[in-house]
């Protein structure tokens, strides 16, 4: 349960640096908020009588993060997560907008189910944009009604959890989605090459006796889809890139002018297949945790822009489901609450890039991929802000989780960079903001 408070009265965020999406720079800005609405933003705002002041010196203020890949499990799997608990987890991680995936029960493949998400999210502190199924019942055969569903609020189409395995179906999906100008989001794992694999195929899988998922299961499907997209046009988005070679393929395709975007998860930027050695089922995820070389290449690809956005693939599963043997435990891990600390640790603490680049890939790029609203710092509109301490070192613990589930591989990990407070839709979350 996340403790939020209603934003009432006047609030001044004073002394911090703001991330400015238009210029991509960090500059000194104060923010005045009244009853949850952003009233003013400039270099310096003097405190008037009756204004609560938050001391933001040494802190950074940014528009809220957007996560274009979460599983909020509603409808059908409310024991894992609900829209409410998912929104709490998002807010705790600094995310004010998310795209939820359609692998629910029933799947989001009808106008009614898409409308259900859009309506339910209005009462929540986080904006939730549903991705609809690409095919009916996510069976990979017949297309859903892209026109109807886009009008109802679907921001893209995907069979996520499963790939669109059939090349002919992928061609039709990319072609037909041009009618609504929405992206097709591909979970790229060739089922026949993946077979019964449970972890990255490597010397670790061999030493553990676990069947492997070879890197080629991702690479060949991405190559196929890039060529199809190049041939028929349409917008292709590759979800959770995990292999170095996949990043190379996408880089080359972008150079040729293919309309492709892609994302990487914090866990694929931080963990390797070595993490599976303890048989901790929270390390079981699709695509699997790969080699050190892949992690290094993904970090570079995120910095050079080949990988557009960071997305968590937040995938909650109940304790009893994860407390099974490795073959039976469902794949996936929760990632919203730990995302910023993990990414900062992986990229900024190791001097690979700057805070500004990380914020671009958490704030701007994801909204561009999915055409989400991106009018930042709009005066007169409800404040959508996150307050960050990029330097704070902290240890991630169970108590930091607001999701209904707890399947994180990061407990006990030293992270760097922490969300201190979030303001969105008239509510405030406070993780230790300093009063003046």
Partner 1 sequence: MKALSQKHLLGLEYVPKSDIELILETAFSFREVLDRPIKKVPTLQGKTIVNLFFEPSTRTRLSFELAEKRLSADTINFSAGSSSLTKGESLRDTIQNIEAMKMDLVIIRHRTPGAAYQLSQYVDAVVINAGDGTHEHPTQALLDLMSIKEKFGHVDGLKVAIIGDIAHSRVALSNIFGLKTMGAQVFVCGPPTFIPPYIESLGITVTHDLDALLPEMDVINVLRIQQERMHAALIPSLREFRALYGITRERVQNLPRELTIMHPGPLNRGVEIDSDVADSDHSIILHQVLNGVAVRMSLLYLLLGGLEAKGASNA
- The residues binding partner 1 (CB under 8 A) are 201-203, 205-212, 214, 278-279, 320, 323-328
Q: Which is nearer to partner 1, 93 or 197 (CB)?
A: 197
* Shortest Å, Cβ 242 to partner 1: 17
Query: Given its phi and psi angles, is residue 70 left (phi above 0), alpha (psi -120 to 50 degrees) or beta?
Result: beta
For the chain, state the CA radius of gyration.
Answer: 21
Closest CA to 187 of 265, 86, 294: 265
* Shortest Å, Cβ 405 to partner 1: 16
* Shortest Å, Cβ 410 to partner 1: 18
Ramachandran angles phi, psi of 309, nearest 5°: -140, 160
Closest CA to 343 of 388, 381, 405, 384: 388
Q: Which is nearer to partner 1, 205 or 403 (CB)?
A: 205
User: In angstroms, rounded to a whole number, what is the distance separating the alpha carbons of residues 13 and 433?
Assistant: 10
User: In angstroms, rounded to a whole number, what is the distance separating the alpha carbons of residues 237 and 18?
Assistant: 30
Beta strands (DSSP E) in 115-222 are: 127-130, 157-158, 183-186, 199-200, 212-213
Evaluate whether 435 touches 53 at the Cβ level (below 8 Å): yes
* Shortest Å, Cβ 79 to partner 1: 14
261 three-state secondary structure: strand
- In order of 195, 215, 270, 275, 280, the CA distances from 208 in angstroms are 17, 18, 21, 12, 13
Asked about 304 being catalytic, the answer comes back as: no
Q: Which is nearer to partner 1, 8 or 328 (CB)?
A: 328
* Shortest Å, Cβ 321 to partner 1: 9
Q: Which is nearer to partner 1, 23 or 192 (CB)?
A: 192
Q: Which is nearer to partner 1, 197 or 234 (CB)?
A: 197
Q: Which of 67, 88, 313, 384 is catalytic?
A: 313
Query: Hey, what are 300's tokens?
Result: 């570079």
Residues with catalytic roles: 313
């Amino acid at each position: 349960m996340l403790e939020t408070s209603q934003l009432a009265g006047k609030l001044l965020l004073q002394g911090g640096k703001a991330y400015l999406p238009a210029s991509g720079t960090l500059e000194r800005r104060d923010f005045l908020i009244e009853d949850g609405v952003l009233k003013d933003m400039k270099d310096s705002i003097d405190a008037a009588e009756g204004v609560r002041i938050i001391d933001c010196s040494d802190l950074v203020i940014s528009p809220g993060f957007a996560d274009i890949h979460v599983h909020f499990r509603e409808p059908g799997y409310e024991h894992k997560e609900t829209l409410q608990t998912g929104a709490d987890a998002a807010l705790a991680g600094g995310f004010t907008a998310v795209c939820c995936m359609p692998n629910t029960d029933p799947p989001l493949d009808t106008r009614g189910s898409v409308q259900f998400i859009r309506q339910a999210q209005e009462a929540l502190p986080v904006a939730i944009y549903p991705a609809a199924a690409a095919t009916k019942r996510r069976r990979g055969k017949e297309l859903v009604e892209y026109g109807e569903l886009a009008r109802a609020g679907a921001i893209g189409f995907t069979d996520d959890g499963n790939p669109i395995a059939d090349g002919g179906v992928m061609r039709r999906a990319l072609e037909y989605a041009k009618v609504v100008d929405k992206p097709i989001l591909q979970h790229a794992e060739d089922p026949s090459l993946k077979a019964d694999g449970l972890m990255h195929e490597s010397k670790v899988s061999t030493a553990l006796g676990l069947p492997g998922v070879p890197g080629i299961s991702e690479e060949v499907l991405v190559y196929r889809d890039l060529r199809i997209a190049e041939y028929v046009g349409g917008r292709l988005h590759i979800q959770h890139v995990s292999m170095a070679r996949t990043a190379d393929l996408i880089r080359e395709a972008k150079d040729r002018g293919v309309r492709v975007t892609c994302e990487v998860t914090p866990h694929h930027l931080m963990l390797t297949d070595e993490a599976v050695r303890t048989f901790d089922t929270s390390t079981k995820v699709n695509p699997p945790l790969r080699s050190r070389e892949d992690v290094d290449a993904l970090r570079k690809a995120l910095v050079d822009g080949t990988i557009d956005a960071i997305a968590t693939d937040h995938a909650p599963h109940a304790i009893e489901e994860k407390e099974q043997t490795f073959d039976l435990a469902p794949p996936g891990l929760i990632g919203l609450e730990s995302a910023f600390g993990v990414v900062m640790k992986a990229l900024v603490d190791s001097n690979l890039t700057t805070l500004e680049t990380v914020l671009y890939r958490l704030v701007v790029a994801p909204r561009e991929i999915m055409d989400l609203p991106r009018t930042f710092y709009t005066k007169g509109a409800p404040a959508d802000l996150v307050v960050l301490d990029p330097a704070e070192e902290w240890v991630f613990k169970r108590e930091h989780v607001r999701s209904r589930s707890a399947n994180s591989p990061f407990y006990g990990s030293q992270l760097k960079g922490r969300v201190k407070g979030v303001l969105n839709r008239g509510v405030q979350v406070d993780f230790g903001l300093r009063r003046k």
